[in-house]
Structure 1
Amino acid sequence: MNARKSLSAVQRRALLATPAGWLACGFGSGLAPVAQGTSGSLAALLPWLLLRELPLPIYLAVLLIGFGAGVWACNVASRALGVADHRSLVWDEFIGQWVALLPLLVLPAPWWAIAFGFVLFRLFDVWKPWPISWLDRRVKGGMGVMIDDVVAGVFAAAVLALGLYLLR
């Protein structure tokens, strides 16, 4: 199956029939008819509004556990769909977006910094500068689905932190 094709009704049901599928498709946000990555990133902002209240060490633990769960879930879902990294698998956008917004937990920031972090993450996720593009091509399986978005999140976090620092 081509990664650009939409999911059939049977594939959607198969994906949503397992906890791994639910997680991998971002609780259904990856099933949007268009712009699945953007839909997943937007959906990730809702739980982030609660996660940002956690102490930093707990937030980092959530990221690590979420990453590990994502590697597992995306492996399972990819095998079920028969596609290595189908666009409906957006848990990587959740974790990448949460990484991108890390500076907002430690630096004073205006409300619009959330939108800036969102845009920066989407930019790096779509643009895929090196080494993101290299990871996207070379690393396979659930790790491959997850790792390029985490690095895109790190790039976005670095630019966001620099922007916030320069604005103070």
Structure 2
Amino acid sequence: MGEKAILFIATGFGLGRLPFAPGTFGTLAGLPLIGIMVWLATACTPGAAALFLVGVILCAIWISQKAEVLIGQKDPGAVVIDEMAGFCVTMTLVPISLVSLVIGFIAFRCFDILKPFPIRWFEKTFSGGAGIVLDDLMAGVLAAFLLKAIYFML
């Protein structure tokens, strides 16, 4: 894969290069991936959707690693494929609707920005592509549990 393609994908199709809130806009770039997961879960099997999510995560780690080297900066802010993968994780435990997407988006962004334990631990412990992506995956896990709890209470 060429350098331009890696950077285009890593930056969420360019959204990560916006001068303000790149992570927030980059998270929105994950919506098509969530759509694919929903389609796979309904048209095929939930296992196909899970396999797709694993593929997204592995690709995010690889692309983040390459982009970090190309940009020459540790965990560059323009790289938002980690937010895309984390948002996908957030939306795995609940039915997808406009309400769940909005609540999931807000929960994910809050966890990603505030970085409570164990999110900050992952950010500080790992480096390279894994370090870029793992903290966002943990934010996605915490947001998914919160979203599932809200659905359970309702």
Q: Fold conserved (TM > 0.5)?
A: yes
Paired position in structure 1 for 2:102:
115
CA distance in 2, matches of 1:160, 1:110: 12
Mapping 1:72-87, distance limit 5 Å: 72-87=62-77
- Contact (CA 8 Å) 1:96, 1:151: kept in 2 or not? yes
**1:41 matches 2:38:** no
**What SS does the corresponding residue of 2:73 show, helix, strand or coil?**
coil
CA distance in 1, matches of 2:18, 2:105: 18
Paired position in structure 1 for 2:148:
161
Deviating runs (4+, > 3 A) in structure 1? none
Provide the TM-score with structure 1 as the length reference: 0.83
- Contact (CA 8 Å) 2:104, 2:147: kept in 1 or not? yes
The structure with more radius of gyration: 1
Percent identity at matched positions? 32
Paired position in structure 2 for 1:70:
60
- Contact (CA 8 Å) 2:37, 2:53: kept in 1 or not? no
**What SS does the corresponding residue of 1:53 show, helix, strand or coil?**
helix
* CA displacement at 1:99 relative to structure 2: 0.5
Paired position in structure 1 for 2:135:
148
Q: Give the residue type in structure 1 aligned to 2:78.
A: S
Structure 2: runs of 5+ lacking an equivalent:
none
Q: Give the residue type in structure 2 aligned to 1:68.
A: L
**What SS does the corresponding residue of 2:103 show, helix, strand or coil?**
helix
Kindly report the root-mean-square deviation, in angstroms, between the aligned alpha carbons of the 2 structures. Answer: 1.6
Q: Which of residues 90, 112, 118 is equivalent to 1:100?
A: 90
Distance 1:111 1:70, change over 3 A: closer
**What SS does the corresponding residue of 1:151 show, helix, strand or coil?**
helix
CA distance in 2, matches of 1:113, 1:132: 22
Mapping 1:117-136, distance limit 5 Å: 117-136=104-123
Render the CA deviation track for 1:112-157: whole Å, top value 9, x for unaligned. 1210000000010001011110111121000000000001000000
* CA displacement at 1:47 relative to structure 2: 3.5
* CA displacement at 1:61 relative to structure 2: 1.0
**1:58 matches 2:30:** no
Paired position in structure 2 for 1:7:
none
Q: Give the residue type in structure 2 aligned to 1:98.
A: C
Q: Give the residue type in structure 1 aligned to 2:40.
A: L
CA distance in 2, matches of 1:45, 1:39: 11
CA distance in 2, matches of 1:132, 1:100: 14
* CA displacement at 1:94 relative to structure 2: 0.6
Render the CA deviation track for 1:38-84: whole Å, top value 9, x for unaligned. 00111212342343121221111111111111111111111111111
